[in-house]
Amino acid sequence: MRYKIVIFDIGKTLLDKRFSQKISEQTLTDIKALKQKGIKVGVCTMRTVQHCREIIPFELDFYICLNGSYIICDGNIVFDSPIHYLHNTNEYLSYGADFAFYSNEAAKQKALSNGFLIDKCGIANPMYNLVLFDIAKEQLADFSSFNIEYWENTQTIALQSANSSKLLGIQRVLDYYKLDDSILYFGDGPNDLPIFQKFKDCICMGDCYPNLIEYSLFQTKSCMEDGVSYALRKLAIL
């Protein structure tokens, strides 16, 4: 099958955030090769646009950032859905289009211990994602007006607008380019599951969230083993 568009998650797909913030040279070379073949290439991630551009040193066709809340295609903002939330806590993370903020030193330490990327102290304006700590499962009903991601083991919740998600972001990009669903997606985490359930050609990484495997075209190697490059060659795309 000739794919018209290839989409990558970032953390633990293009790079392993536990060990490095640098994508391997092989993977970067292969992303460039996809673009040279005329395939639309982009990322779909919780990261800000600035974070994406820092780790991929050339321009992609599109960026689905902040879990689909902020989308750029061909250098143009095509979707922009900030949130407005009055929170009663002093410890939180807020994500703008370019930077991730922590509210105070305690929030900074919680962010670092939970693997969230942060840039500086302050508050995002406009705000696209808000991360709150120490939220019990019984409190989730209080956030019903948002699209949420919840980590029960750390009692951490991420809020974004109800009309945005990684899956909706992909659908908006397909609409922008007037493409069908002939996409190839690489991912690893729980928030990728709706994408794997929707599209038939998804590749899960070697150390992925286990529930992705049954919906995957196949499971490739881990990103530390250049799993993206391995899969692209297995599919004879490169």
- The answer to the question of residue 87 being in a domain is no
Cα–Cα separations (whole angstroms), residue 107 to 10, 132, 163: 23, 9, 27
103 and 218 belong to one structural domain = no
- The answer to the question of residue 72 being in a domain is yes
Question: What is the per-residue pLDDT for 16?
Answer: 73
* Confidence band, pLDDT 50/70/90 cuts, at residue 18: low
- The answer to the question of residue 133 being in a domain is yes
Question: What is the per-residue pLDDT for 1?
Answer: 63
67 and 99 belong to one structural domain = no
Mean pLDDT of all residues belonging to the chain: 94
184 and 145 belong to one structural domain = no
- The answer to the question of residue 96 being in a domain is yes
Question: What is the per-residue pLDDT for 221?
Answer: 97
55 and 118 belong to one structural domain = no
pLDDT in tens, 22-34: 899 999 999 999 9
197 and 169 belong to one structural domain = yes
121 and 185 belong to one structural domain = no
Q: Which of 161, 179, 211 is the last residue of a domain?
A: 161
pLDDT in tens, 185-206: 999 999 999 999 999 999 999 9
172 and 59 belong to one structural domain = yes
* Confidence band, pLDDT 50/70/90 cuts, at residue 84: confident
Average pLDDT value for residue range 146-155:
94
76 and 170 belong to one structural domain = yes
- pLDDT at position 238 over 70: yes
- The answer to the question of residue 140 being in a domain is yes
Average pLDDT value for residue range 208-220:
97
169 and 182 belong to one structural domain = yes
- The answer to the question of residue 11 being in a domain is yes
- The answer to the question of residue 147 being in a domain is yes
- Total domains in the chain come to 2
Q: Which of 139, 161, 183 is the last residue of a domain?
A: 161
Question: What is the per-residue pLDDT for 19?
Answer: 56
Cα–Cα separations (whole angstroms), residue 220 to 117, 146, 158, 205, 206: 26, 33, 29, 5, 5
Domain harbouring 210, CATH code: 3.40.50.1000
47 and 74 belong to one structural domain = yes
Which residues span the domain enclosing 23? 5-80+164-234
- The answer to the question of residue 203 being in a domain is yes
Average pLDDT value for residue range 101-124:
94
Q: Which of 111, 133, 161 is the last residue of a domain?
A: 161
141 and 174 belong to one structural domain = no
146 and 168 belong to one structural domain = no
Average pLDDT value for residue range 124-137:
95
Question: What is the per-residue pLDDT for 144?
Answer: 94
- pLDDT at position 143 over 90: yes
Question: What is the per-residue pLDDT for 89?
Answer: 82
Average pLDDT value for residue range 227-232:
98
